[in-house]
Each structure stands twice: as C-alpha cells, then as structure tokens.
Amino acid sequence: MDPLTQASVGAAVAAIAARKSETRRAILLGALAGAAPDVDVLIRSDEDPLLALQFHRHFTHALLVAPLIGLLVAALFKGLFFWKHWSYRRLALFAVLGAFTHGLIDACTSYGTLLYWPLSSHRESWDVISIIDPIFTLPLCVLIVIAFAFRRPRFAHFGVGLCLLYLAFGAYQRGQAAEFAKQLAQARGHDPLELTVRPSFGNTLLWRIVYRSGERYYVDAVQTLPFASPRHYPGSSVDRFNLEAAASLFPAASVHARDVARFRFFSQEYLFVHPMKPDVVGDLRYAMYPDSVEPLWGIRLDPERPEQHVSFEHFRDPSQRAFKRLWQMIQGQAVEPLNAN
C-alpha cells in the first residue's frame, strides 16, 4: 500500500504495546519501521526496467526479515538522536511490531507480496483491499495524530480496531463478489480453470472479475453491497498469452525470454496480448476500469532485438471522464459499456 498507510498502520500497532508516557516514541518508531521495507524501491536499473518490479515487495517484505528491519530502525533511531535514557529493548519492541505490519497489510492487496521468503517464492495476495483506499487510511491517520498529540494510545487502539473491521468487511465483500463470479461463469456454461476477484481502485464496493475458461480470459465487474442485489457490469474476453507461440519469436535463453518469465511471475501468470497493441503483453489483474481488458501496464516485445530487455509501459487514463465513469460504477449507476473485444 502507499507509504502513508504503511506508516499509520505501523504506528497504530506499535502503540498497542506502549505505556502512556511512551506513546509518542512508539508512534514514531512504529511509523518509521512500518514504512521502512519500501526502501526496496531504490533497487532499480535504467537498463533493466523489470528490476524494480522483481524486487518490490520482495525480501524486505518477508515476515522473517521484519524483526531485522525493526532492530535496525530502533538502533538507528537511538544512535542518531542520542536518547540514551530510552531503553533500546522498548524501542526495538515498537519498531519490530511496526515492521511486521508492512508485509501483512501489503498481502491484503492484489499486487503480490513475498511474505514467506526465503522459504517460499509464492506471491501472497488476499485481495481484500485496494492498494490505495482513503476510507481505510484517513480515519486511521486522524486517530494516530490525536494519539500522538495527547499521548493517548487508546486512540491508536481504536485505529487498529477500525482497520480490522474494514479488512473483515473487505473479506466479506470479496466472498460476495466471488460467489457472483461463479454463478456468472456457470450461467455462461463455463467451468473456470482460474477465477479471481479483486477490489477496484480506492474502494471495496466495486470488484474486478477475471476467470479463465479454456485458453480465454473473461473480464467483468460487479458492484456489491450487503443486503442488496449485485450490479453486474459486463466486460469482454481476451486470449491467454501463449507461451509456446512466444517461444518461437525469440530463443529460450534470450534476455527477452527471461524478461517474459519474470513478468509472468510478477503478474501471477495473468498475461494476455494487449487488444490494441499486439506487441504488448499486459497484466490482466489491473485496469483503469474493472470491466476493461486494457491493462494499466505491460511489457513491449521486440523480437528483432531478443538480447535487449523488454520495455515496461503504463497505459493510464487520468482524464476526468475516466474517474467519473469509475465513480458511477462504484455507486452502482448505469454506465456506457466499453467496446467489446
């Protein structure tokens, strides 16, 4: 998730272990350690565009690494500010608690987090909250500020409780969307080989549905609310990216082939050819609209230069019209269908 959310969650959880007199230092340590694992964004290369993707949410986000990050943050905090009268053991406790929250809250999103590294390379994604969700973050920030200003850790405790309730609501919503997706596939006569539902940008009301039947992916969206009928937004379908066909374009040991394998791992294998750009392989998990098959990002292949790295490209639509349509879908209103493919 975004750095503000990570810092806020880390601060709130650290404050659970704080005495009243320790509230401010616990919040500071928890916030720093809660955001610290995202230093992996510094791992990047101008020559290799996929290096940043490969190592973001990698080893720095693992549960086994979290204590080390917490201990390091506490040591730096104590050493830099020369607060010798503060116990390192207490500072380390706050920092370790904050560091543990980072990978866990990231795993609640759809991006994929190597939570169990080095024991497993599985990219964990529980799909219960968007990468950015102001309804989750802003109330928590307010409670953390109050706790810090008045030295009242109780407000941070309220923040943790609100976060857990919101994540539980996201899990419930995900279950509702998944049930709708199964019924939708069954109504179409499909027996999905893969099926995933993921929250759309900034909310837990509108969900993106992607399932595979045969070698084709089907994309839809659904708006769901407790005690209300779901609102279906029909999408379209695309062919699954054919790895065997791609292998004929460039040698198996080429840089291009390795880059495709890396992007496949990053995207949790949800790859397809961009419907309007045949040389672009997109990540079907994310789109500007949850009912769209136009990806937010993808890699551009150049079979004529197989020993050069692929390029990584974004396909965002930041227009007011795009956000208006998304907002209408979140509200469950009727919208103009996208062009079918």
Query: What CA–CA distance (Å, rounded) separates 235 from 24?
Result: 49
Query: What CA–CA distance (Å, rounded) separates 94 from 292?
Result: 43
Residues 207, 162: one domain? no
Domain presence at residue 9: yes
Domain presence at residue 262: yes
Residue pLDDT, tens place only, 49-83: 999 999 999 999 999 999 999 999 999 988 876 56
Our count of domains for the chain comes to: 2
Residues 306-334 as b or e (16 or more Cβ within 10 Å = b):
beebbebeebeeeeeeeeebbeebbebee
Residues 255, 200: one domain? yes
* Confidence at residue 82, expressed as pLDDT on a 0 to 100 scale: 59
Considering 137, 169, 201, which residue would you say is the last residue of a domain?
169
Rounded CA Rg of the chain: 22
Q: Hey, what are 259's tokens?
A: 């880059």
This prediction's pTM: 0.93
CB 257 within 8 A of CB 301: no
Query: What CA–CA distance (Å, rounded) separates 290 from 235?
Result: 8
* Confidence at residue 242, expressed as pLDDT on a 0 to 100 scale: 85
CA dihedral 39, 43, 46, 49 (to 10 degrees): -100
Considering 169, 198, 219, which residue would you say is the last residue of a domain?
169
What integer is the mean pLDDT of 243-257?
Answer: 84
Residues 72, 152: one domain? yes
Residues 31, 164: one domain? yes
DSSP strands (E only) in the chain: 194-199, 206-213, 216-223, 231-239, 271-274, 277-283, 297-300, 311-314
Computed from CA positions of residues 276, 177, 335, 111, in that sequence, does the dihedral angle turn out positive or negative?
A: negative
Query: What CA–CA distance (Å, rounded) separates 269 from 292?
Result: 18
Residue pLDDT, tens place only, 196-238: 999 999 999 999 999 999 999 999 999 999 999 999 999 999 9
What integer is the mean pLDDT of 267-286?
Answer: 92
Domain of 93 in residue numbering reads as 3-169
Residues 218, 301: one domain? yes
* Confidence at residue 83, expressed as pLDDT on a 0 to 100 scale: 61
Residue pLDDT, tens place only, 147-173: 999 999 999 999 999 999 999 999 999
What integer is the mean pLDDT of 263-276?
Answer: 93
Domain presence at residue 284: yes
CB 241 within 8 A of CB 284: no
* Confidence at residue 202, expressed as pLDDT on a 0 to 100 scale: 93
Band of residue 48 on the pLDDT scale cut at 50, 70, 90? very high
Residue type, 228: A
Band of residue 2 on the pLDDT scale cut at 50, 70, 90? very high
pLDDT top residue among 318 and 277 = 277
Considering 138, 169, 200, which residue would you say is the last residue of a domain?
169
Q: Percent of the chain scored above 70 by pLDDT? A: 98
